[in-house]
Amino acid sequence: MDRNLYCKNPWNCLELNNDGKCFFCNPCFSNFNLIGNIFEDSIEEIWNGERAQNFRRDVMERKYTYCNYENCNGNKTENLEYNSTIAPLPEYINIGYDYTCAQRCIICRDEHQALPPEICKKWEDALETHILPITKNVKYMFINCRGEFFDSAHTQKMYAAIIANNPNIKVDFISNGIKCTEENLKKHNLLDKIFRVHISLHAATRETYKKIFRVDKFNDVMKNIEFISSLKKSGKLEDFEIMFVITAENYKDMPKFVELAQKLDARAAFSACIGGYAEYIMNRENYAVFYQNHHNYNDFVKMLKNPIFNDRQHCFLPDYLRELKPVSLKHSIKNKIKYFARTKLNMKLEQTKDDISIFSHDTYK
């Protein structure tokens, strides 16, 4: 995000996160600087309390002390229309606490996850007293940035109650696309509500998709994406984004991913912000191709010079990635030697484990 621009989120956006924690946007982009807790504070204390006002003042001064602005493609503007640290209640709310998902892509998680029943009950018990009053007059709702809407009966129940209470609300929707069919969109009263759709795709080819998601559903997802694209092309959808978190497993797909976005009349949104995601973090040395010490870093930087990334209409690529410079040949060779030495060592360790297992079996059978 350009520091010369202003972010509008602190004046019009509220995100409800794990344990009722409240933020102005995705915690990864606001460096987990919370402004309150929906279960502990009143909405006025959250929205116009000291923490919220300090955050707004910081943005008004364009300091972005509380923000991970380099990775943010946020709600930015050249001229800030707000001149006060006090703001009316938000127009946009993000219901983002339910991490339930039946998939286990390498970017997100190592196993299938579901929100525990006791947490679901806590939120459902708070529906009448906390959630519906906040969402009664909001214009837009983002659902669900932590998990998969179609895998969570709880989120579906909460969503149904919110739109019954506020039938004019418009929905900003995110999904992995696997169950995002026309039938399911109609079934859950989403088709006529959505104004923006984000699909977490992370690949432009079937083979790469299988590496990222560990399932072979690329063709099914593409059918659903093509339907969403038809909504965008017919004017029924304001915005359509296909999302791509960069890893060593998928970066070579990036030019094709922009081509796919052009075909779909969508925006390819690239990010190197991976938050606390399990396997990615555990294998950072292998996955983080955008780090200088990665053995394929120079290849990645060279790939970024492809002129297709200059299509700003169909491609969002953070400026700091555009500005990456190659490392020296000596540095690059050193990285590759380290990688191959580490790979060989890991192979030996795995073989040793196998030998020990065989020995133990033969000894005690």
pLDDT at res. 291: 86
What are the CB-based long-range contacts (under 8 Å, 24+) for 294-297?
Answer: 294/248, 294/335, 295/332, 295/335, 295/336, 295/338, 295/339, 295/340, 296/248, 296/251, 297/326, 297/327, 297/332, 297/335
Instruction: Pick the closest to residue 123 from 224, 279, 16 (CA basis).
Output: 16
Kindly list the distances between the CA atom of residue 315 and the CA atoms of 304, 309, 335, 360, in Å, as whole numbers in the listed order.
12, 6, 30, 55
Place of tokens 């484990």: 353
Query: % helix / strand / coil in the chain, to the nearest 5?
Result: 45, 15, 40
Instruction: Show the tokens assigned to 75.
Output: 């709600």
pLDDT of res. 136: 86
Beta strands 92-95 and 140-143 are parallel
pLDDT at residue 320, rounded to an integer: 86
DSSP string, 50-95: HHHHHHHHHHHTT--TT--TTT---SEESS-----S--PSPSEEEE
Work out the mean pLDDT of the chain and round it to a whole number: 86
Q: What is the pTM of this model?
A: 0.84
Provide the token pair at 182.
Answer: 């026309």
Distance of CA 199 to the CA centre of its chain: 10
Strands in the chain per DSSP E: 6-7, 13-16, 21-23, 36-37, 76-77, 92-95, 140-143, 170-175, 194-200, 239-245, 267-271, 315-316
pLDDT of the residue at 79: 81
End-to-end CA distance of the chain: 62
Nearest CA-CA partner of 129 in 217, 38, 29, 202 = 38
Residues of the chain with pLDDT under 50: 275-279, 281-282, 345-365
Please tell me the predicted confidence (pLDDT) of residue 356: 40
